[in-house]
Chains A and B, each alone.
Chain A
C-alpha cells in the first residue's frame, strides 16, 4: 500500500477515532432509555420499596451500571476496520467513494491509483482535530463494568443483612384469643341464655386448642370458623324474622320492632301491651304459628321464649293475653341480651381475624368495633362491663393493642416457637423477625432458617423459598 499518501492514512486514522466516538454515542443513545428506566425503577425500589425487594434492586442497579459501562467500552475497544474508516471519511467529507477507491487501488500502484489518492486527499474536508486516544478510556470503562458486574453477583454475602419479611404463617399467640374468650365466658356466666352457654362452650374449645399448641393462621381461622358456625346456629334459633311473622297482627308493634331486629324495643313494646287494657288476641292461624315456633325454640333451648309464645297462643281473653304479653316481654328482654352477646362475639371474631390477617389498620384506629349503641359510651361501660375501662374488648385501639398484640408466643411445649407479628404497616427494621428456637419447627420455619443460615447466592434465595413453600403441607380448610 504505497500509493496512498501519508496524509490519507492520517485522515483515515482520525476518521477511525471519530467513528468510535459516533458508535459509542449511538450505543448510548440506543441503550440509554431502557437502562435509565430500569435504573430509576431499581433505585426507587431500593430506596422506598419493601425490604424483600431492596437487595434485588441494588443488584439490578449494579448490573445496569455494568452493562452500560461495558456497552460504552466496546466501541472504544474495537478498532474500526480500515475500510470502515474509509467509508466513514467519504461520508464525512461527502466524497463519492474517493477515499475508499484510493485505499482499494493502493495495492496496485500506478498513475491512475496515484491520481485517485491525490484527488481524494485534495477533496478531504478539514475536520476537527483528531480525537484523543480513547482506548485507555475504553479499557477503564470495561474494567469498571466488569467490577460492577462482579459486585452485582458477589457483593452482599452477608445474608443476615437481608431483611426477611414477617412470616405470614407465624403463630397466633394465646393471649390474643384469651382476651376474646374471657369476654365470652364473662357474658355467658351472667346469663342462663342458651346462646351464651353455646358461645362459652365454643370459646372453651378454642382456648383448649390454643393451650395445646399455638395455632397457625390457618388453624386459628378453622377454630374461629367453628365458633362462627355455632353463633350462626344460635342466631337462627331465635330469628327475629320468624318471631315477627308469628306475632304479626296480634302484637303489631312488637312484630314491627322484631322485624327491624331491635329486640330491646320489642321487649319494651310487649311490656307496654301487657299494661294496656285490651291487648289483642291472636287468631287461630297465628296461634298455630306461635305453637310451631315455640316447639322449635324449645328444641333450641330457648325455653322462656317458647313458654311465653305458648301462653300467648293459648290466651282466650284479654287478661290471659296481658299475662302472656308480660312473659313475652321478659323473654324478649332475655333474648335481647343474648342477641347482644352474639353480636359482640361476631365483632370480636372479626377483629381477631383482622389482626391475624394484618389487614392494614392504621394507628389509632379501632381494631375492635363497638357494639351498636355503644359508640358514645366510654370504654368499659358497654354490655357486661363491671368496671370502668375494663377489658370489654370493645374500644381498644391499635396503639393500645400494640401492648397486647406484639404477640410473644409462649413456648409451652415441645415443638413451639415464639414469634412476633406486627399488626400493620411496614415491618420493623430489625431483622430477622423470626427467632428460631430449634424445637420441631414447621416447614415455614425450616425454609426461613435455611435461607438465613446457609450461604446461598442471593439470586437463588427467592427460588429456594418458593420451593419450600410449594412443598409445604396444605392445612385442612374449614
Chain B
C-alpha cells in the first residue's frame, strides 16, 4: 500500500476487516471495543481499557497479539512492582574471566504488544516508567537510551470498582493513551455464545493475519488521508470546547471541567477520523468521524473538578452533550 496512491483504500479496508474477523473468532461481542482497539493500533496509539474483571480484556489483547504476529508481554501491576521489573536492569555477569561485566537484561517492556494488567495498582513511580516508552518508544536505563522495537503498543487495563489501594494514573500518563475504552457487559446473545465456546473441549484461537510491518504500512496509509481545513478547524473547535476558559465552552463545561483535552487529544481524534473514513470507503475525514471518536479520544483527557465528582458527573455525559451541540452547530452552518 502506497500512501501516495488512494486506490489502496480498498486494500486497507480489506486488511482491517480481515484482522477484525480474526479477532472476532475469539472475542465474542464487544464489536465497538474491538474495532476501536484496532483503530488505535493501526494509528500506533496505546489503549486504556477500563472494565470489571472477566469481560475479556486480557483475552482481547492476547488475541490481537496472535493475529498480528507480534511479540506479546503481560505485566500484572502490583503496588510492589518496581520500574526495573518493567524496564529491565543491568546485571553482573560472570563469564569465567577475570573481570565480570554488567549486562543489560531487558524487561518485559521490550516487546511489540504490552499488556499492563490493572495498571492503576502500581505506584506512580512505576507508572511513570512507562512515560518515555509510550511516547518516545525508548527507555533510558543507567544513562543509556535503548529503543523499543516498533510497532510498540501498550494496552493497559484498570478496574473501576476496586479503588482501594490503587493509584490513579497521573494526567501525563493518561494523556499518552490514544483511546480510553469502556468494556461493558456483552449482550445476552453474545454472552450465550461466550458460554458455549469457552466450555467446549476445543477453544478457538486467532491465526496471524499480517505482521508488524504491514501494520505500520496500514498506519502510514491512514495518515495520508487528507483532512480539509474545515475538518481541521472542527477538530480543533471540538477539543477547545472542552476547555472551560474558552468563550465557546458550554455552561456545563465551565462548571464541571478543571482542564480540557490536550493537543494529543486532537491528534488522536483526527487520526482516528482518518481511519474511520477509510473504513467507510471515503478518501477524506468528515465531521461525523470526529464526533464518532470524540468519547474514546477525549474522555480521559478531560479532567473534572471537585464539584463534578461530588455531583457524580462523568466526562462521558459532558462530552456527549458537547458532541450533540457541535453536531447541531455544524449542521446549522450548512444552511
Interface set of A (CB-CB < 8 Å, partner B): 87-88, 90-91, 96-98, 100-102, 104-105, 111-113, 115-116, 119
Contacts and interface: CB of A to CB of B under 8 A. Distances in A.
A105 B334 contact: no
Contacts of B9: 115
B334 A101 contact: no
Given A101-B228, A101-B231, A113-B226, 16 more contacts: A87-B333, A87-B335, A90-B334, A91-B335, A96-B286, A97-B284, A101-B284, A101-B285, A104-B229, A104-B230, A105-B226, A112-B224, A112-B225, A112-B226, A112-B284, A115-B7
A97 B226 contact: no
Given A101-B286, A111-B5, A116 B226 contact: yes
Interface of chain B, helix or strand or loop or mixed? loop
Nearest to A107: B229
B13 interface: no
A96 B283 contact: no
7 contacts: A88-B334, A97-B286, A104-B228, A111-B4, A112-B224, A112-B283, A116-B283
A97 B6 contact: no
Nearest to A96: B286
Given A87-B333, A88-B334, A96 B282 contact: yes
Contacts of A98: 282, 284, 286
Interface string B268-306: 000000000000101111111100000000000000000
B284 A105 contact: yes
A443 to B, nearest CB: 59
Contacts of B282: 96, 98, 119
Nearest to A117: B283
B228 A100 contact: yes
Contacts of B285: 101
Interface string B304-335: 00000000000000000000000000010111
Contacts of B230: 97, 100-101, 104
Contacts of A97: 228, 230-231, 284, 286-287
A118 to B, nearest CB: 9
A175 B332 CA distance: 76
A418 to B, nearest CB: 67
Contacts of B6: 111-112, 115
A96 B288 CA distance: 7
Interface in B87-142: none
Nearest to B333: A87
Contacts of A104: 228-230
B183 to A, nearest CB: 28
B185 to A, nearest CB: 32
A97 B7 CA distance: 20
A100 B335 CA distance: 13
A248 B4 CA distance: 127
Contact of A115 (B231, B283, B289, B331): B283
Interface in B199-250: 224-226, 228-231
A90 to B, nearest CB: 6
A91 B333 CA distance: 10
Contacts of B335: 87-88, 91
A88 B287 CA distance: 15
Contacts of A87: 333-335
A323 B308 CA distance: 110
Contacts of B286: 96-98, 101
Nearest to B227: A101
Nearest to B281: A119
A101 B226 contact: yes
A20 B334 CA distance: 13
A116 B9 CA distance: 12
Most chain A beta-carbon contacts within 10 A, residue among B231, B286, B334: B334
Nearest to B288: A96
B136 to A, nearest CB: 30
Nearest to B334: A87
Contacts of A102: 284
Contacts of A119: 282-284
A122 to B, nearest CB: 11
A273 B5 CA distance: 136
B117 to A, nearest CB: 38
Most chain A beta-carbon contacts within 10 A, residue among B4, B7, B283, B333: B283
A155 to B, nearest CB: 38
A102 B333 CA distance: 18
A80 B50 CA distance: 48
Contacts of A90: 334
Across chains A and B, which 4 residue pairs bring their CB atoms closest together, nearest first?
A: A96-B286, A87-B334, A115-B6, A104-B228
Interface in B1-39: 4-7, 9
A408 B4 CA distance: 103
A88 B231 CA distance: 16
A468 to B, nearest CB: 53
A102 B228 CA distance: 8
A119 B335 CA distance: 23
A298 B79 CA distance: 126
B162 to A, nearest CB: 42
Contacts of A112: 6, 224-226, 283-284
